[in-house]
Amino acid sequence: MSDSNLSSAQRLDFRHIIGVLLILAMALWLCACSATKLAYQNAPELGYWWLDSYFDFNDSQSLRLREDLAALQTWHRKYELPVYVKTLEKLQKVAPLDATPEQFCDLYAEVKTHMQAVLDQFEPTVSAMAPALKPAQVDHLGRQLDKRRQKWRDDWLEATPAGRQNRRVKQLTERIETFYGRLDEPQLAVLRAGLLASPFDVNLIYRESQQRQKDIVQTLRQIQGARPGAPELKTAMRSLLVRFMESPDPVYRNYMETMTHATCRTLASLHNSSTPAQRQHLFETLKDYQADARSLLLPTR
């Protein structure tokens, strides 16, 4: 029931350039509770090192980024985590019940809203740091993106159709079992059938990745040396973040919408086939997430 369930086989690693910041927004949806809490507490440091591997920041850039990531986490603890607590409470109430595809898609839309909120909050940092990047840093970014894209190509585009299907089933099964516990064979059959019926298109995904990478690198090169706070700089960076969240290609947007609805149908069918014990496991997992979210809230004065 998380965003990663919907997109783990579809997205490309280059999106983590900004997506790594979403550790702050998504940690409570993705992994085992103890690991989630630890990741959240260390998100600014983890985010810094991850981004530094792409950009090779200098000392002044590193200082600015570390400070802003820490401020982003403080904002998130104050404004976003309380919403997560309420959402997780609602999900616990419906966990024992059957679900519809629309409910899963509504949850996905809610998660995307929180992702957008984090990006909006971090936009001033991106706009301030991007024009100060050196040409060598942008070149370094391009090489790192090439490596990520090539790895995705090796894993997905070069695989056989059967290999791709097995990989998708394995990835989604691991995510789902985090919430429900071990799936039985009939449930795995439901999952396989749903994924097989979905319009998964590796060629379209790869083409989109090439366009996204080209867009990011070109935009960063175009704004190098721009005056901080200049309207054209703000416009360029805002447009890039908008394109990050939603592709400008109508064909790809339609594909992603179709894939999302197909995944929602699969998840609903799988949830409705779950046993009382599995739904109790889901309830307990959500309850643990909620407890972690509460423990991470900023103390009230």
| Greater pLDDT, 3 or 226 | 226
**What is the spatial distance between Cα 148 and Cα 142, in angstroms, rounded to a whole number?**
10
Structural contact between residues 121 and 200, judged by C-beta atoms closer than 8 angstroms: no
Q: Residue 29 pLDDT > 70, yes or no?
A: no
- Supply the pTM of this predicted model: 0.85
- d(CA 105, CA 142) in angstroms, rounded, equals 34
CB atoms within 10 A of CB 278: 22
pLDDT band at 202 (very low <50, low <70, confident <90, very high): very high
Instruction: Evaluate if residue 180 carries a pLDDT over 50.
Output: yes
In the chain, % helix, strand, coil (3-state, to 5) comes to 80, 0, 20
Please, are residues 282 and 180 in contact by the beta-carbon 8 Å criterion?
A: yes
Q: pLDDT (tens digit, 9 = 90+) per residue, 236-288?
A: 989 998 998 899 999 999 999 999 999 999 999 999 999 999 999 999 999 98
Dihedral angle, C-alpha 152, 153, 158, 161, nearest 10 °: 60
**What pLDDT does 231 receive?**
86
Burial class (CB in 10 A: 0-12, 13-18, 19+), 179: buried
pLDDT band at 185 (very low <50, low <70, confident <90, very high): very high
Lowest mean pLDDT among 24-33, 112-121, 160-169, 249-258: 24-33
pLDDT of 233 strictly over 50? yes
Q: What pLDDT does 60 receive?
A: 96
Residue 102 in this model has a pLDDT that exceeds 60: yes
Are 281 and 290 spatial neighbours (Cβ–Cβ below 8 Å)?
no
Residue matched to tokens 């969240």: 245
pLDDT at residue 112 in the model: 85
Banded model confidence at residue 35, pLDDT cuts 50, 70, 90? low
State mean pLDDT over 122-136: 92
Give mean pLDDT, residues 138-148: 94
What is the share, in percent, of the chain residues with pLDDT greater than 90? 62
- Is the pLDDT at 150 greater than 80, yes or no? yes
What is the pLDDT, as a whole number, of residue 116? 87
The model's confidence at residue 107, banded by pLDDT at 50, 70 and 90, is: confident
**At CB < 8 A and 24+ separation, what contacts does 260-263 make?**
260/6, 260/105, 260/108, 261/101, 261/105, 262/194, 262/197, 262/198, 262/199, 263/5, 263/6, 263/104, 263/194, 263/198
Residue 40 pLDDT class (50, 70, 90 cuts):
confident
pLDDT at 47 over 70: yes
In the chain, what's the furthest Cα-to-Cα distance?
60
Query: How much is the pLDDT for 32?
Result: 37
pLDDT of residue 31: 38
The pLDDT > 70 percentage for the chain reads 88
Q: Please state the rounded mean pLDDT for residues 29-43.
A: 64
Residue range 220-226: mean pLDDT, rounded: 90
